[in-house]
Amino acid sequence: MSATHDQIPEAALAWHRQGRGAALATVIETWGSAPRQSGSQLAISGDGEMLGSVSGGCVEGAVVTEALDALADRKPRLLTFGVSDETAFAAGLACGGTIRILVEPVGEGDMALPEPLLAALTDARAASRAVALVTTPASWERRLLHPGEDPATDARFRSDRSGMEEDGRFIAIHNPPLRLIVIGAVHIAQPLLQIARTCGYAPTLIDPRAAFGSEARFPGETILDDWPDEALAALKPDARTAIVTLTHDPKLDDPAIRLALNSPAFYLGALGSKKTHAKRVERLAAAGFTPQQIARIHAPVGLDIGARTPAEIAVAILAQITETLRK
């Protein structure tokens, strides 16, 4: 259930196989206040349909024109746009940044992006396997790499950052989706799961109470009705996992929190007032958890933005998760 805007290679492959033609535009380098980071992509069909973004709308028009030309001559090209570039400035790239974009036609042509390579990339993404598409513009050599095959690529897998290497290779990282595990099918969980998916997370909801975690209340969501600690143990939280407990019922939240504190999850948040959290801290300390471990818990959960409604609280939670991940 990945958000549609994350399915850019998949869209390009589908358009190509439908006979419509497709090109992929990828940001490979940025300087200054560039609007999109390296690795951001835009898929363009032969009839001008677009999915994704390489500049937030600033230079997409010029990129589409170049992509259609690439489909015609079957040759990739490297484009550079900056505030001093008249085309980019006219298109609105007035943020002071500079971006370098790789545009590749999919399919036939010695220098084009081969369909089998793009298909292998989308297969790995569908299976949630980490994969990198490595391109050397000087020779237009391309290959897929997996963790453990190349030190530079492994470093980029860990940092989750695509970019150019000093040896002239562009490494496009395709890590599995970030995961959000939510304990408690309460009202806040409804907008939280929706917002998380929009931000690229693969969410899972855990609640052993059938009346709460029902398909009617959470249509289309992955819902586990096991006890929270058992469900978490089966999910095996890793360094790309955020965990949020929302029941503020110790019988449900505490087992999950205890397991989460012993996991490499990058974020752990718990709903409840300061008084509720103080009692939680006492229970965890009595169970043998150290002050350093307990300090990992974000509680009361979410950034303090004055949120009141369930949707606003969900925004505050996802904002705090984002802040923890990126900073």
pLDDT band at 216 (very low <50, low <70, confident <90, very high): very high
pTM: 0.79
Q: What is the pLDDT of residue 86?
A: 57
**Domain shared by 242 and 280, yes or no:** yes
Q: What is the pLDDT of residue 1?
A: 42
**Domain shared by 28 and 156, yes or no:** yes
**Domain shared by 187 and 130, yes or no:** no
Please state the rounded mean pLDDT for residues 9-19.
97
Give the chain's domain count. 2
pLDDT band at 87 (very low <50, low <70, confident <90, very high): low
Last residue of one domain, picked from the residues 174, 196, 214: 174
pLDDT digits (tens, 9 = 90+) for 25-40: 999 998 776 667 899 9
Alpha helices in 38-91 (DSSP H): 60-73, 86-91
**Domain shared by 160 and 244, yes or no:** no
Question: In this structure, what are the phi and psi dihedrals at residue 115, rounded to the nearest 5 degrees?
Answer: -60, -45
Last residue of one domain, picked from the residues 150, 174, 198: 174
**Domain shared by 185 and 268, yes or no:** yes
**Domain shared by 206 and 168, yes or no:** no
CATH number at residue 188: 3.40.50.720
pLDDT digits (tens, 9 = 90+) for 273-320: 999 999 999 999 999 999 999 999 999 999 999 999 999 999 999 999
**Domain shared by 210 and 302, yes or no:** yes
**Domain shared by 305 and 283, yes or no:** yes
Q: Which domain holds residue 233?
A: 178-326
Last residue of one domain, picked from the residues 174, 194, 216: 174
Percentage of residues of the chain with pLDDT beyond 70: 93
Please state the rounded mean pLDDT for residues 60-78.
95
pLDDT digits (tens, 9 = 90+) for 217-276: 999 999 999 999 999 999 999 999 999 999 989 999 999 999 999 999 999 999 999 999
Q: How far apart are CA 299 and CA 243, in angstroms?
A: 12
Residue 93 pLDDT more than 80?
Answer: no
**Domain shared by 272 and 315, yes or no:** yes
**Domain shared by 169 and 285, yes or no:** no
Nearest to 51 by CA among 16, 107, 93, 9: 9
Please state the rounded mean pLDDT for residues 16-32.
93
Q: How many C-beta atoms surround the C-beta of residue 188 within 10 A?
A: 24
Mean pLDDT for the chain overall: 92
Residue 49 pLDDT more than 90?
Answer: yes
**Domain shared by 21 and 160, yes or no:** yes
Lowest-confidence region among 31-35, 100-104, 106-110: 31-35
Q: Angle 209-213-293 (CA atoms, 0-180°, nearest 5)?
A: 75
**Domain shared by 10 and 152, yes or no:** yes
